[in-house]
Amino acid sequence: MNPNNIIICRCEDVTLQELHDVLEEGYTTFEDVKRILRIGMGPCQGNSCGLLVQREIAKVLKKPLQEVQIHKTRPLITGVKLQSIVEATKNER
């Protein structure tokens, strides 16, 4: 299948081909490709694409999967509306 037609990061609409191009340019870690392509920066925060990207990097670098770090995970775990946070802090008093 044509890598131009395979979406690897659905949140940010990044194709497999775009990922391969950036890896070829010499950006070879998840943190690097995230910064160039926005992979993992969308609403799913890498939950969907993380393992897929990790596997692609491992394949290109010819490294075992466990040696390829995925990006840092941070709060929040799920998207919360700012208004909900305001209301929750009101209820705390």
Partner 1 sequence: MNANVVIIGGGISGVAIAYNLAKKGMKDIVVFDDNYMTGGATGRCGAGVRQQWSSKGNCIMAKMSIDFFERAQEELEYHRDVEFKQEGYLIVATTDEEDEQFSKNVALQNEVGIPSKKLTLEEALQIVPHLNKKIVKSATFCPTDGHLNPFLMTDAYYTAAKKLGVQFFYRERVNEIVVKDGVIQKVITDHHEVLTSKVVNAAGGYSYEVGQMAGVDIPVYSENHEILVTEPIEKIQGPMVISFSKNIYCQQVPHGSFIMGRSNPNVEHNHDISSSHEFLDEMAKTAVELLPPLGQLRVIRQWGGSYNVSPDRQPILGDTDQLEGYYLACGFSGHGFMFAPMTGLLLSEIILNQPPTIDMSELHISRFKNSTHNTYEKSVV
Does 29 help bind partner 1 (rule: CB under 8 A)? yes
Among 4, 62, 86, 93, binds partner 1 (CB under 8 A): 86
**Near partner 1 by CB under 8 A, which window of 2-10, 31-39, 49-57, 59-67?**
31-39
DSSP code of residue 39: T
Write down the least CB distance from residue 71 to partner 1, Å.
10
CA 2 to chain centre: 21
Nearer to partner 1 among residue 1 and residue 39 (C-beta): 39
Does 61 help bind partner 1 (rule: CB under 8 A)? no
Among 3, 7, 15, 41, binds partner 1 (CB under 8 A): 41
Q: How far apart are CA 53 and CA 30, in angstroms?
A: 7
Among 3, 15, 20, 36, binds partner 1 (CB under 8 A): 36
